[in-house]
Amino acid sequence: MEKIKKLKKIFKQFNLDGYIVPKNNSFFGEYVPVADDNLKYISNFTGSAGFAIILKNKNLMFVDGRYTTQATIQCGKNYKIFTIPKDYPFNVLNNKNLNLGFDPRLHTENSLNRLFKNSFIKLKPINENLIDLIWVRKKDLNIKPFYLIKDIDAGEKFENKLSKLKKKIELNKADFLFTTASENIAWLLNIRGCDTDYSPLPNSHAFIDKNKNVVLFCNLKKIKKSLKAKLNKTIKIYDLNQLPAFIANLFNKKILVDILTCSIFFKTLISKNNLVIEKQDPIYFLKSLKNKTEIKNSIKSHIYDGAALTKF
């Protein structure tokens, strides 16, 4: 493929033997917008999970058992297909001394350690995404506004959820929680968005301090004046591009970050001047305890889902 050849030509510029291309974008959600789907662009693979390792002389595609056949059909001509958990990069590339580049915004330390543990591979963060250098595209085409759901539909006010979260932040002896999962922000703020095709997610990150103040980072074009007027005054909203500068102004703070969704890029920025507490985002636990409204709506959604499947 011409695209793969273009990518490989860039390797010399960054002193690389290869490059890792994941499925996810910087929000680590299950569904990736078309304009962010680097893996599909470079491979034609359309499954919801997987990643490619493109080396100078070969191309490797790693998928789980759901997608082995699909990956073989869609990109088997240009890639050797491997199925996780039978094969991992650390055993496929064992004893090879390679410099592999990656975009630190698209990977967590947890995931890279799991994939490349105990190998001789040197992982090199490249702050410029190499796919961006060969794929000319228009991003942020989906500028649909965020919106609030009613407290009666959520079953609980934002303020109540925030009070519960405050206790979890204090329990971890942290000054801030850095929430990087959009679905957790959706639950906490009773806010929704249109950033993916199959789930009403508001792509965003947020800092929540131990005094219940929230700083939300997102595309400001998605925040209408009417929404801002309805939001609690403890919520401040900034453009996503301002997040690195916000982090750079934090000093000697204890910051709780999610081990599963905080990228290496942000963890590195935070750890320069602050203490990182790396655990699971406590919002996952809080939202797992369903209130009566959430239970009722879950039952209702299963009825709709069962009817749709039966009709099909």
Nearest in space to 3 (alpha carbons), one of 137, 139, 131: 131
Pair of tokens at residue 166: 């405050």
Residue predicted with more confidence, 56 or 118: 56
Q: What is the pLDDT of residues 254-304, one digit of tens each?
A: 999 999 999 999 999 999 999 999 999 999 999 999 999 999 999 999 999
Stated pTM of the model:
0.92
Rounded CA separation 179/278 (Å): 12
Q: Angle at Cα 73 formed by Cα 76 and Cα 138, nearest 5°?
A: 85
Q: What is the pLDDT of residues 114-137, one digit of tens each?
A: 998 877 899 999 999 999 999 988
